[in-house]
Amino acid sequence: MGLAFALPLAALLAFLCKVLYSSLSNRNGMRKNGCSAPPKLPQKDPVLGLDEFVKWARAMGDGSIIRMFRQRHEKLGKTFQGVMLGTNQIYTMDSKNIQTVLALDFDSYGLEPLRGGVGEYLVGKGIQTSDGPFHKYSRSLVRPTFARNNFANFASLQRHVDEFMGHIPRDSSTFDIQPLLQRLFLDEGTEFLFGESAKSLSPESPQEMNEFLNAHEYAMRGLSIRLQLGKTLQVLHQDKKWFECCRVIHRFLDRHVYRALELQEMRDKSVLLHEMARVTRDPLDLRNQIFHIFFDVKKNISTIVSNVFFNLSRHPKAWQKLRAEVLEIGDDELTVDVLKSKIYLRWVVNETFRIMPLAWATARLSLRDTLLPHGGGPKGTEPIFVPKGTRILVNWAALHMDRDYWGDDVEEWRPERWQDKKPTWEFLPFSGGPRICVAQQLALSQAYYVIVRLMREFKNIESRDSRPFDTTTRLGVSNKNGVKIVLTPA
Ligand code: HEM
């Protein structure tokens, strides 16, 4: 037998032995720990799970991934298992299991094996791709700036919102508020990160910033291809333009990094990069870490505010009720405390997060053999054995639609439901546990601020798009068709 046959045969045998060995040791682990298996996803290819990979890629592409998983959970229960690209997967929307993965048994799970090392030419290790001590260190770099109430007086946001208001038509013409809000939060976010605003709302947007943003847009598409290919196969992605875009990004970031390092005592305390430069003097580390934060600046807050306006434009009573609450503030200064005291505002934002969560799911890999408390056996009440190397998909979108907790009207956008709800692990728009969003307070305060400013200035809202919300997950869960409305000045 030639080498050409012997090698693939040996590889196949090794693979089969691995499958057999892990199936035996899983059965052993299950028996020892009194566990039962969760239901299985019906698959044409239950060994390699290539069918699942194709379905997943398709559903991501056409925006049906959230629906696909909800339907699966409805059929199979809150926790079930499957295989994708040779890796065992557990899919869960069970709040106890989610709490276990994200908090109670945090150290048994990681995301570095899933995300680390992918696209390293573009961006190295940082908060979004690391586990353990490096992750702790990364959070310590940014936490003081996010925790400090230095955004409480909204000084810079106020300036950007003033400019943003000038772009809103006051003659009853229809406009799309979604891209405008993206520009608003891009301007605010870049000023907060680098000390220099993208000025995308103003005519004098800096050339270098524009180049950076265009390069970033292209580079992110390449990065998502690389994430799909994984650490080993990413070499197949050899796009010259992608490498050029990476260099443009590095030049831009390095200029800000070296400036932050030179500033020493002249640093601006409200600029995140300047504050990070107090802790590390390593330019490459600073470049990577600030880039990890920039991933989130570009999209998140604008998406939740757009979604709030999508819902308000279709619920005139909620608009009137919220406006009455906003007008109670009178001419008082908008501080974080004032905004947080507004109950209906909180309900409106929460209800929007519930039904349109910005992050629909997250994945972790088990780093050792461990257990999940629920999901096994015929009633899904027994613990599950989780062998090392299992990928867990925590599904926040399905969690927020759990009829057992939210009632039968889960599909309905109804802020009043929050009157008697005080969820803990049943509602996780910012995740939970040691990896909870570092910017939660900043994001909520800024979203509240912009909503209130708009509602002070406009007395009515009308939707100019009768189509239902058409989900895309590209910028968090947002509407493919934008948010087309008319606002009537007060
Ligand atoms: C409404 C706005 C936002 C929402 C709903 C949100 C939600 C989330 C969620 C769900 C996670 C966990 C992701 C995971 O575990 O896979 C997360 C993590 C994170 N978010 Fe946010 N986010 C928002 C805004 C922001 C902003 C504006 C920034 C930066 C300025 C930011 C920075 C981060 C960072 C750095 C992490 C990673 C934390 C870690 O792994 O330790 N987020 N966010």
On the question of pLDDT at 150 being above 60, the answer is no
Per-residue pLDDT, averaged over 333-347, amounts to: 94
- What is the Cα–Cα distance from 335 to 332, expressed in whole angstroms? 9
What pLDDT is stored for residue 103 in this prediction? 98
Nearest CA to ligand 1 atom 43: 437
Nearest CA to ligand 1 atom 36: 437
Q: How much distance in Å is there from the Cα of 90 to the middle of ligand 1?
A: 23
Closest ligand 1 atom to the C-alpha of 135?
41
On the question of pLDDT at 416 being above 60, the answer is yes
- pLDDT band at residue 475, thresholds of 50, 70 and 90? low
> How confident is the prediction for the chain on average, in pLDDT?
91
Q: How much distance in Å is there from the Cα of 359 to the middle of ligand 1?
A: 9
- Stronger pLDDT, 114 or 168, i.e. the higher one: 168
Q: How much distance in Å is there from the Cα of 439 to the middle of ligand 1?
A: 6
Closest ligand 1 atom to the C-alpha of 435?
41
Taking alpha carbons only, the member of 461, 409, 470, 421 closest to residue 169 is 461
Per-residue pLDDT, averaged over 163-189, amounts to: 94
Residue 284, CB-side half-sphere exposure with 13 Å CA sphere: 6
Per-residue pLDDT, averaged over 365-377, amounts to: 96
Per-residue pLDDT, averaged over 256-277, amounts to: 86
Nearest CA to ligand 1 atom 23: 300
- What is the Cα–Cα distance from 149 to 441, expressed in whole angstroms? 9
Domains of the chain: 30-122+360-399 (3.30.43.20), 139-357+405-489 (1.10.630.10)
**Residues lining ligand 1, Cβ inside 6 A:** 127-128, 139, 293, 296-297, 300-301, 304, 358-359, 362, 429-431, 435, 437-439, 443
- Output the pTM of the full model: 0.92
